[in-house]
Amino acid sequence: MLLGSQMMLNKGCAQPQKVSQQTPVALQRPSPVVRGSVSQGKQSHALPTAAPVRAAQNKNAIPRAAATEAVTTTRTQPFDINEAIKKLKVDLDSQMTTGRPSPEVFDETVIFRDPITRVNGFKDYSDIINLFISVKPTFELHDIRPCGPYSVLARWTMVFPVLPDNVPRPWTPKVCFTGTTTYGFSPATQKVNAHVDTWDLTDQQDWFSTDAFSRISQQIFESTLAPAPDEEGRYRVIRLRPDYEIRDCEPSAVNEAFKEGQTEISTDVFMGRPAIQPAEGQLSAGPRSFLGTVAARRFAGSPPNWLLGMAKPEDEAKKLMDALRRDGVPFDENAGYRLVRYEGPNPLPQGKPNEVLVRVDPTYNPVWVNEEEIESKHRFHYKTVQL
């Protein structure tokens, strides 16, 4: 998706790849991602070598990019992928002000794909970008890096309001997305000719994804379950899956929340404690510690309703843990779960928002799970989309 001027850009991209004239396009392995890994209880910051992409993905496979083949022709001059990233970043910053992509950066044949939108050509692409910017979204870029000789991969979080600020409403409905953008470059023009997004909230990435559309609608209606602005803690959402989200919080707040001898914690624990912002280049220049990472699942109700058979904290915690196991997210099972209860905007007891939290293993990197996830995006340039 679009990336704002306030975003943190990764300075640790792979070394520029100089390409001689008339050399065939070759699929190359992207730069390794430095992260923590779990192996027999020991922490290691070396990323295991990625296996070849298998024909059949296992049940824990990360959502793949929609199959796309960008318009390509024979190379005519050397191409530096890192210089292309710099130019792209400058234009993305400019888009937040102008609402329009630059024809000096984006090719006239550019295509745009996400689970519910597809656009062909620069004019229509420029219009859809302008529409996105007009709703005044907020963006955070977690990382951007080369993933192939002519492709760049970014991971981001985006939140935008459903209603304008001047519209009266009993609550503030918002829609949150986390996911990736793969930008493909034309070898001939050295401009972006493919913009493909994947969303973490759905496993159906190809257009038109009815599941993605229903997930967005569900978010809007369930926004009444959000805590009131003066109750909500401070954290960064890194991944938003259909049934839980991964948050990066201030480590001291997480340590306090998961002290022994307590299950229910106060909303004050995460108040006024902003998540630590990593330094530029930290994601690839060295291992990043995710000591404040938690998984959260939100549900409605209050103790009287729990006795009447409505959602109970222990049941919601089990659903959260089962979902983490399904996606291969390691967590501290011995620490159990923590319950946070909010007042929220709904006065009815059955509408009170609650959250169950589980502490994620600090060796887990929620930005890039593994190298295979990056390599899966590398292939998008060589796939075909039926327009």
Summarised one tens digit per residue, pLDDT across range 274-305 is 554 443 333 333 345 567 899 999 998 887 66
Handedness of CA 103, 109, 112, 116 (dihedral sign): positive
Q: Has residue 211 got a pLDDT over 90?
A: yes
Judge residue 340's burial from the number of C-beta atoms within 10 Å of its C-beta, 0-12 exposed, 13-18 middle, 19 or more buried.
buried
CA distances in angstroms from 247 to 78, 211, 244, listed in the order given: 41, 23, 10
Which residues are within 8 A (CB) of 175 and not within 5 positions of it... i.e. 6 or more apart?
159, 160, 162, 216, 219, 220
User: What is the distance between the alpha carbons of residues 387 and 377, in angstroms, rounded to a whole number?
Assistant: 20
Nearest CA-CA partner of 235 in 317, 176, 169, 299: 176
pLDDT digits (tens, 9 = 90+) for 153-185: 999 998 888 776 666 666 667 889 999 999 999
Q: Has residue 85 got a pLDDT over 50?
A: yes
Res 105: pLDDT: 96
For residues 219 and 5, the model is more confident at 219
pLDDT winner (highest mean) among 68-77, 90-99, 268-277: 90-99
For the chain, give every domain's residue range: 64-218+370-382, 228-359
User: What is the distance between the alpha carbons of residues 213 and 117, in angstroms, rounded to a whole number?
Assistant: 10
185 cis-preceded (ω within 30 degrees of 0): no
Q: What SS3 class is residue 320?
A: helix
DSSP E strands: which ranges in the chain? 37-39, 42-44, 106-114, 117-120, 138-148, 151-161, 174-185, 192-199, 236-241, 244-248, 264-265, 293-300, 338-341, 353-359
Under the banding of pLDDT at 50, 70 and 90, the label for residue 97 is confident
Tokens 């949150």 correspond to what residue? 176
Under the banding of pLDDT at 50, 70 and 90, the label for residue 26 is very low
Q: Has residue 90 got a pLDDT over 60?
A: yes
Span 16-37, average pLDDT: 38
Res 112: pLDDT: 93
pLDDT winner (highest mean) among 21-30, 35-44, 156-165: 156-165
For residues 24 and 381, the model is more confident at 381
The full length of the chain comes to 387
Angle at 72 between CA 66 and CA 75, to 5 degrees: 140
User: Are the CB atoms for 189 and 107 separated by under 8 Å?
Assistant: yes
Average pLDDT over the chain reads 75
And the tokens for 217?
Answer: 């609608």
Percent of the chain as helix, strand, coil, to the nearest 5: 25, 25, 50
DSSP string, 244-299: EEEEE--HHHHHHHT-TT-SEE-GGGGTT-PPPPPPTTHHHHSPPP-TTEEEEEEE
Span 268-278, average pLDDT: 63
Tell me the CATH architecture of domain 64-218+370-382: Roll (3.10)
pTM for the whole structure: 0.74
Tokens 């059949």 correspond to what residue? 56
Under the banding of pLDDT at 50, 70 and 90, the label for residue 381 is very low
